[in-house]
């Protein structure tokens, strides 16, 4: 048998609060005002990145907030560990979880996912002649898919940060990364050569939760939609 885990099954009907997953870092700051307008008022230390607490009650007994890494928001919601969440479209593109619905574009966390390379190599040859290219990125799926559509196989070097160093140190020819202002690229001698997609943050929902608790989840979608307009 499969090793037992805490299964909601054992409780006949879900009675606990809904869980909303929020991403640490950049987007958390930007979504504070929106959360406020939508009526989500978590315990005060939720936005304090130095707080050790990861799960925060809100003034609504039926909603708790968890704070996780941006990439993990999608995973928590896909598995139904959190029913709703806020997540960058970059993460949704990378994981492509079929279990996640993204009913609202929140219009925050605006940036783009782009291809960049050193100033000196950019435009030095014709990319349509490439068979393969080495790419440093934390978005292996997006990078592979993007180049595959152009008939180029991407050899991905998976990094978790400091992508901008990779071309200069001979780790890769290109990088695929999030670009907000372009300042980091510029400071490291890179130029943005292609925009793969424009990114904003989305309000996301677990598919099964929407099917089985349509009133509660639908209520939250409406509150965020109202908060946006």
Partner 1 sequence: MTDDDLPGNNPALLPAGLRDLLPPEAETEAGAVESLMDVFAAHGYQRVKPPLLEFEDNLLAGSGAAVAEQTFRLMDPDSQRMMGLRADTTPQVARIATTRLANAPRPLRLSYAGQCLRVRGSQLDPDRQVAQAGIELIGPDAPAADAEIVLVGAEALASVGLDRLSFDLTIPTLAQALLDDAGIVGAQRQALSRGLDRKDVAAVVRHGGKLADVLTDLLRAAGPADRALAALREAALPEAARALAGRLAETVAAIRARAPALRLTIDPVEFRGFRYHTGICVTVYAPGRREELGRGGRYVCGETEPATGLTLFPDAVLRAAPPRAPRARLFVPLGADPARAAALRGEGFATVAALDAFEDTSAEARRLRCTHVLLDGEAVALNTDG
Residues found near partner 1 in the complex (CB under 8 A): 1-2, 7-9, 11-14, 78-80, 92, 97-105, 200, 202, 205-206, 208-215, 218, 221
Identify which of residues 189 and 214 has a Cβ nearer to partner 1 in the complex.
Answer: 214
> What letter would DSSP give residue 129?
G
Helix or strand (DSSP H, E) at 208: helix 207-212
Catalogue the E-assigned strands of 80-128.
84-88, 100-105, 111-118
Which residues fall within 8 angstroms of residue 22, CB to CB, at 6 or more apart? 28, 31, 35, 46, 65, 66, 67, 68, 73, 85, 86
Q: At 206, is the secondary structure helix, strand, or coil?
A: strand
Closest approach of partner 1 to the CB of residue 179, in Å: 20
By the 8 A CB rule, do 88 and 201 touch?
A: yes
> What letter would DSSP give residue 104?
E
Closest approach of partner 1 to the CB of residue 130, in Å: 24
By the 8 A CB rule, do 208 and 99 touch?
A: yes
Output the CA–CA distances (angstroms, integers) from residue 88 to 28, 95, 149, in the order listed: 11, 11, 23
Closest approach of partner 1 to the CB of residue 29, in Å: 22
Identify which of residues 81 and 122 has a Cβ nearer to partner 1 in the complex.
Answer: 81
Closest approach of partner 1 to the CB of residue 140, in Å: 15
Q: Alpha-carbon distance 57 to 46, whole Å?
A: 9
Closest approach of partner 1 to the CB of residue 93, in Å: 11
Identify which of residues 41 and 207 has a Cβ nearer to partner 1 in the complex.
Answer: 207
Identify which of residues 119 and 158 has a Cβ nearer to partner 1 in the complex.
Answer: 158
Identify which of residues 7 and 169 has a Cβ nearer to partner 1 in the complex.
Answer: 7
Identify which of residues 146 and 185 has a Cβ nearer to partner 1 in the complex.
Answer: 146
Closest approach of partner 1 to the CB of residue 62, in Å: 15
């Amino acid at each position: 048998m499969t090793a037992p885990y805490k299964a909601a099954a054992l409780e006949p009907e879900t009675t606990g609060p809904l869980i909303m997953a929020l991403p640490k870092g950049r987007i958390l700051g930007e979504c504070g005002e929106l959360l406020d307008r939508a009526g989500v008022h978590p315990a005060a230390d939720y936005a304090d990145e130095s707080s050790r607490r990861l799960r925060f009650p809100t003034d609504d007994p039926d909603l708790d907030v968890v704070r996780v890494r941006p990439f993990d928001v999608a995973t928590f919601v896909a598995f139904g560990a959190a029913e709703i969440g806020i997540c960058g479209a970059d993460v949704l593109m990378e994981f492509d979880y079929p279990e996640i619905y993204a009913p609202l574009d929140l219009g925050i966390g605006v940036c783009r996912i782009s291809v960049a390379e050193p100033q000196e190599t950019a435009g030095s040859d014709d990319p349509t002649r490439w068979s393969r290219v080495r790419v440093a990125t934390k978005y292996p799926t997006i990078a592979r898919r993007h180049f595959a559509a152009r008939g180029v196989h991407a050899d991905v070097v998976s990094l978790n940060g400091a992508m901008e160093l990779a071309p200069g140190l001979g780790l890769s020819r290109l990088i695929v990364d999030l670009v907000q202002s372009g300042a980091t690229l510029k400071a490291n001698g890179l130029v943005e050569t292609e925009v793969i997609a424009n990114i904003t943050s989305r309000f996301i929902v677990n598919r099964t939760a929407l099917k089985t608790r349509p009133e509660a989840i639908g209520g939250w979608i409406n509150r965020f939609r109202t908060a946006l307009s």
